[in-house]
Every structure is written in structure tokens, then in C-alpha cells.
Chains A and B, each alone.
Chain A
Amino acid sequence: MSHLVIGPNWPARIALAGLSLVALVFAITLAVTVGEMPIPLSVAFRALGNGLFDLGYPVSAIQQGVIFEYRLSRALMAALCGGALALSGAILQALLRNPLAEPYILGVSAGASTGAVCVMILGFGGATLGLSGGAFLGSVAALVMVGLLAAGAGGASDRVILAGVAGSQLFNAATATIVTTMASAEQARGVMFWLLGNFGGVRWSDLWVAAPVALLGFLVCMVHAKALDAFAFGADAAASLGIHVTRVRLVLLATTALLTATMVAIVGTVGFVGLVIPHAARFLVGPGHARLLPACLIIGAVFMILADVLSRILVPQQILPIGIVTALVGAPAFALILYRARRPA
């Protein structure tokens, strides 16, 4: 049994890819049919056919709108967001050699929030910067700050987590300060909802931003799959295996910042996915990144779609913020993973 290598085992690879596709399609189908207005599968498929290929089936305008403009874009965005956050978590855990590393805990999400709020409420950058741009700059600022803080504290991997906690607190405080002192009541409500994650406002135009970013991020990560494996025994070990440690770190940290910032800018901050999904994926496919990264993408996507469905049906007449659902599902799942992965001392 070996984990780090994909042999040239094409049948198994194709079977896995097929299985992932089936899971994704199933989750998306569930997401477009379930909700406050249950829509039969046949109608859902016709509406999709109308929206995607302009087939002209007779579907009521309301149902067509709900399926195509509202639920499908929402489900696809959930998939991209879940996949991207899980991917970022896997990358950060490998680079920092810490099982607790993920965008939320390292303050990247908090930084992105601050950046987004600066644009949203303080009006920094005007129209040119935009919400995504502000979130991106904020997340980079958080990464740089956490990195400097961790390096100043000796650079050990537990220090990075502590620095991340400090960074999160600082940026969350900054966000809260801006919101409580500068925002109107309506703005504050919007921001608070956004801070816990919200797929409600997602439109197709958001997908045209998120999808290329997620795809690009995934490809960049896959190119570095072997390099990430080489980090198993630390940076010096990786360097002595011929890895350009500084370059790989820089490229991959920038990639995680881009992935996180893009998703946070669109849906707000969502915790636990980046932490839990990589562990679950490792449990299923082993620690080799050539398999782990695609697994994170798929499992993260399916998980987030299902979490979003839950957020819409858990409380009747209400939609829960997605961050609450991921935490409700994620925390027990994480406890289970910890319990099952415990090592005989």
C-alpha cells in the first residue's frame, strides 16, 4: 500500500473521476430541486436545458428563474467555494506542516473581511478596486503580517498558528470597529450576514470570476503536488530533495490567498471547510498530494453544496448563514477524524 504515488493505473483513475462526477451531479441535482419551493426533477432538468442550451421547454417563468438564476448559480458557487477552501487548507497544512493550518485559522479570511469592509463601507479604492480587490489585498496583508509575526517568533509551526490567531483577532477587531462606527444599520446587517457566509446574493457574473480563479488555483497546486509531498519532513528536507523552497512557498501562498480572497469576497467567510475536508480526504485517499488535491476539490465542493442545502431547509422560512452550518457539521466530523486518527502512544 503506497500513498505518495499514482501508478499508471488508468482504470482506477477513470473510475474515481467518474464517481466524483456522479457525486457532484447528484449534489447539484439535490440543490436545485430541494428548497422552500420544491421543484420536481423533470421540471428542474427542463429548466436547466432551457437555461444552458435554450431548448425552449414549457416551464413557468418563476420556476425557470428559481432553478436557473437562483439555485443553480448558488450550487455551483457553493461547489467552487468549498473546493477552493479545501484546497487552500490542504496546501497550508502541507507548507506549514501543521494539521491545524487553514485560511480561517491563519487569519487570511479575517484579513479578506477587513479588506472587503474597507471597500464596502469606507469606500477605499472606489469603483476600481472593488470588493474582490479589497478582499484580496486584505488577505495578502494578513498573510504577510502572520508570516512576519511567525518568523519573528522563531518560525516553528505552532508559532505560525499562534500568529494566525493573533492576526485573526486583530483583523476581526478592525472589521468590527469599522462596522460599528462607520456603517449604517442596514450596512451593518448586510456585513454581519456576509461575515458568516452567505450564498444568497450569488449571480452568474460571480461565477465567471470564481470559476477561472478556482481552476487556475487548482492547476497551480497540481503542478506543485510533488513539491508538497517533499515538505513532509520540513523545509530543509524539501530543499535537499531539490525543491525551490522559497519559490514554491511564495507561489502557493499567493495562490491560497487568491483562492480564499476570491471566495470570501463573493460569499463571506466560511470556517471549518479548509480544516476538516483535507483531513477527511487524507483519510480516504492517503497523504500523496497528486491524489489529495483533486480529492479535496471534489469533497469540498460536494460538502459545501450539501451544507448549503441544509442551510436552506434546517429552519423553515429561514436561511441560515452557511458558516453556521459548516461549523455545525464540521465540528463533530472533525472530532470524529481526530478520534479515528489517534495514534497509539
Chain B
Amino acid sequence: MTLATHDVRWGAGGKLIVDGVSLNVEPNRVLGLIGPNGSGKSSLLRLLCRLRKVASGVVTLDGQDIAGVGRRDLARRLAFVEQQATTEIALTVCDVVRLGRTPHRAAFASWSAEDERAVDAALERVGLSERHDQPWHTLSGGERQRVHIARALAQAPRELILDEPTNHLDIQHQLSILGLVRRLGVTCIVALHDLNLASLFCDRIGVLSAGRLVAAGLPEEVLTPALISEVFGVEVTIRLGANGHRHIDYLVDHEPGERP
């Protein structure tokens, strides 16, 4: 058992943004959330980790309503990686990862050996052990995202929620971040923009459109030309790529080499 939503609704400024979503997350799998801009992906993720309160419906963790779980208890169980969170404060890589131990420490508790181990292990898992003391501001976008993931891992979560972690990264770093997420072995819910990347790295995919969950299932079941046309308004064909993965080709109305 892990996270699930039951007919969840949420709105802001009189506009319904998440409109009756019921979703089951499978343990230790990567669930991708896709949908056009403004379809409610980010909002749904924030409802899942209770950064926003549902207007109606219930979010459950192991069958228990998360509205009744303490903030700190929730943070020891569930970690959240925002898209492009940055800071003006002069922190080092390990300062940021150490923040992940916050929910595990009492107000005046000293830094423990267990905390230190968790931080080292988290940095190891994202492949940044050597960057331990590097200033945050000198990191590239991809490295920053890795540090955020390490910070989340230092929370020792069983569920990890990531909001478009590949945004603004070059393709190499997009692939390496998503490869990392896939190898973590914890339950991941990740909002993504790129349909091919979602299909490559996610075990299951949920499709949001105007706040509603319009499809959910295995990538090959969900990502059909008909659905993509309906939700994203683009025509595609799907073929098997060189490595045996399905590949989505976007159909455009100009010939190769044709210049306007």
C-alpha cells in the first residue's frame, strides 16, 4: 500500500484546478504524470504531499487519510522535489542535503552519526560524493536537481514526489536524472513534459487534462495516437525505436529540408 487519491478536488481563485482525481500509486514503481501546461500536474503533486489541502475527497497513505498525519511524520515518509528550487543563501552541497534530516531531528538535537551516514549515503546514490563541500551557486542545473534528490533521499522517504525534475535541463541530464529516479527503488510520482521520456522511464502513466485524470495505465496502453491527439492536440505516429522502446513521432506539415 502507498499513496492514493479518492475523488480529489482543489481550486484556487474560484477556478477548479484538480477536478475529481482518483489515482492509485503502485509501491516501488515510477508513476509518470503527463498533461498539457495548466492541466493540474503540479497542483495534484502538492495535494499528494499535503502542501495544499484538498477541497473535497481524500488523499490516503497506506489507507490512512494524510490530513490526520502530523507534518513531521509525513516528512519522514514522503519527500518532495520542486522544479528549480533555488536559494540566495550561501549554502554548500552538504548543507542542502543535511536539510533532509530536519524531520528526523528534535529542536535542539545535535547532529548524529546516523544523520551523517544518511547524508553521505544520499550523496553517494546521486553520484555527488566528491561535491560534498562545493557551493550551491557553482552547480549546474542538473547537479542542483541531483542535490535536491539527495536532500529528499536523506529524509529516508518511501515515497518520492518530483515536479518536472528535468525542466530546463539538456538532454543528457534529463536522461541521467530520470535514470537515477528509476534506479532509486522507492515509490516515485513524477510530473513530466516529454512524452517519449515518460514512456521510456515510467512503469505507469497517468494523463491529466483540465484537472481530470483521463487515462492511467501502462505506457503502451495509455500513450496512443488517439489520446495524444485528444489531450495535447498534436498528431503522432508510434513506432518501435532502435532500442526496442516505443517512440512517438510528431507529425508536422512541412517536408524535411523545406524552408519557409
Nearest 3 CB-CB pairings of A with B: A242-B75, A242-B103, A242-B72
Minimum C-beta distance from A225 to chain B (A)? 8
Q: How far is the CA of A227 from the CA of B100 in the complex (A)?
A: 12
Q: Is the CB of B111 within 8 A of A7?
A: yes
Question: Which B residues from 72 to 123 make CB contacts under 8 A with A?
Answer: 72-76, 78-80, 82, 85-92, 94-96, 98-100, 102-103, 105, 107-108, 110-111
- Of the candidates B46, B75, B86, B108, the one whose C-beta lies within 8 Å of that of A236 is B46
Structural contact, B82 and A229, CB atoms closer than 8 A: no
**B60 contacts chain A at the CB level, 8 A cutoff:** no
Q: Whole-angstrom distance from the CB of A233 to the nearest CB of chain B?
A: 4
Known: A7-B111, A233-B82, A240-B80. A1 touches B133 (CB 8 A): yes
Q: Does B149 contact A (CB under 8 A)?
A: no
Residue of A nearest to B94 (CB): A2
A-B contact pairs, 8 of them (CB 8 A): A7-B111, A97-B88, A236-B85, A237-B99, A240-B79, A242-B74, A242-B102, A243-B102
> In angstroms, how far is the closest chain B Cβ from the Cβ of A7?
6
Interface centre among B79, B96, B107 (most CB of A within 10 A): B107
Closest-by-CB residue of A relative to B157 is: A240
Min Cβ gap A255→B in Å is 15
CA distance A234 to B89 in the complex (A): 11
Interface assignment of A189: CB less than 8 Å from any CB of chain B: no
A residues within 8 A CB of B87? Answer: 97, 232-234
Name B residues whose Cβ lies closer than 8 Å to a Cβ of A.
46, 49, 51, 71-76, 78-80, 82, 85-92, 94-96, 98-100, 102-103, 105, 107-108, 110-111, 133, 137, 155
- Whether A282 is near chain B, meaning CB under 8 Å from some CB there, is yes
Q: Whole-angstrom distance from the CB of A151 to the nearest CB of chain B?
A: 13
A 219-252 binary contact with B (CB < 8 Å = 1; else 0): 0000101110110111011011111100000000
Given known A234-B85, A236-B51, A237-B82, contact A4–B99 (CB-CB < 8 A): yes
Set A1, A2, A282, A343: member contacting B98, Cβ < 8 A: A2
Q: Which of A95-113 contact B (CB under 8 A)?
A: 97-99
B96 contact set on A, CB distance < 8 A: 232-233
Q: Which of chain A's residues have a CB closer than 8 A to the CB of B78?
A: 240
Q: Does A55 interact with chain B (Cβ within 8 Å)?
A: no
A3-B102 in contact given A233-B82, A233-B85, A242-B74 (Cβ < 8 Å): no
Q: B134 to chain A: closest CB distance in Å?
A: 10
Q: Is A8 an interface residue (CB 8 A)?
A: yes
Which one of A8, A227, A232 lies within 8 Å of B89 (CB-CB)?
A232
The answer to whether B85 and A241 touch across the interface, beta carbons within 8 angstroms, is: no
Alpha-carbon separation in the docked complex, A320 to B227 (Å): 75
User: Knowing A97-B87, A282-B90 touch, does A239 contact B95 (C-beta < 8 A)?
Assistant: no
Contacts of B72 in A (CB 8 A): 242
Q: Does A197 contact B (CB under 8 A)?
A: no
Indicate if A217 sits at the interface (CB-CB under 8 A).
Answer: no
| A284 CB–B CB distance under 8 Å | no
Closest to B103 in A: A242
Q: Does A192 contact B (CB under 8 A)?
A: no
Once the chains are docked, how many angstroms separate the CA of A4 from the CA of B90? Answer: 11
CA distance A2 to B95 in the complex (A): 6
Can you name the residue of chain B whose Cβ is closest to the Cβ of A230? B102
Report the count of interface residues on A (CB-CB < 8 A).
Answer: 34
Q: Is the CB of B99 within 8 A of A230?
A: yes
Contact B95 A3 (CB under 8 A): yes
B10 to chain A, nearest CB (A): 15
Q: Does B51 lie within 8 Å of A239, measured CB to CB?
A: yes
Nearest neighbor of B98 in chain A, beta-carbon distance: A4
| A287-B82 Cα distance, complex, nearest whole Å | 22
A240 touches B98 (CB 8 A): no
Q: Is the CB of A287 within 8 A of B91?
A: yes
Find out whether the CB atom of B49 lies under 8 angstroms from the CB atom of A240: yes
Q: Is the CB of A287 within 8 A of B89?
A: yes
Q: Once the chains are docked, how many angstroms separate the CA of A270 from the CA of B94? A: 37
A8 to B110, CA, bound (A): 6
Complex CA distance for A1 and B91, rounded to whole angstroms: 10
Residue A6 is within 8 A (CB to CB) of chain B in the complex: yes
Task: Tell which of B49, B100, B108, B133 has the most Cβ of chain A within 10 Å.
Answer: B108
Closest CB in chain A relative to B165 CB, distance in Å: 14
In the complex, the chain A residue whose C-beta lies closest to that of B71 is: A242
Q: Are A223 and B107 in contact (CB under 8 A)?
A: yes
Complex Cα spacing A286 to B85, Å:
21
Q: Please tell me if the beta carbons of B89 and A241 are within 8 angstroms of each other in the complex.
A: no
Q: A16 contacts which chain B residues (CB < 8 A)?
A: none
Residue of A nearest to B95 (CB): A4
| A241 and B99 contact, Cβ closer than 8 Å, known pairs A282-B90, A287-B91 | yes
Within the complex, the shortest CB–CB distance from A340 to chain B, in Å, comes to 11
A237, B85: Cβ atoms closer than 8 Å: yes
Given contacts A99-B88, A242-B74, contact A6 B110 (CB under 8 A): yes
For A230, the chain B residues whose CB sits under 8 A away are: 99, 102
Chain B residue contacts of A282, Cβ below 8 A: 90
Interface centre among A3, A6, A227, A241 (most CB of B within 10 A): A241
CB-defined contacts of B95 to chain A, threshold 8 Å: 2-4, 287-288
Return A79 CB to nearest CB of chain B, in Å. Answer: 25
Per the bound structure, the CA–CA distance linking A6 and B100 in Å amounts to: 16
- Specify which chain A residues have a CB less than 8 angstroms from the CB of B98 in the assembled complex: 2, 4-5
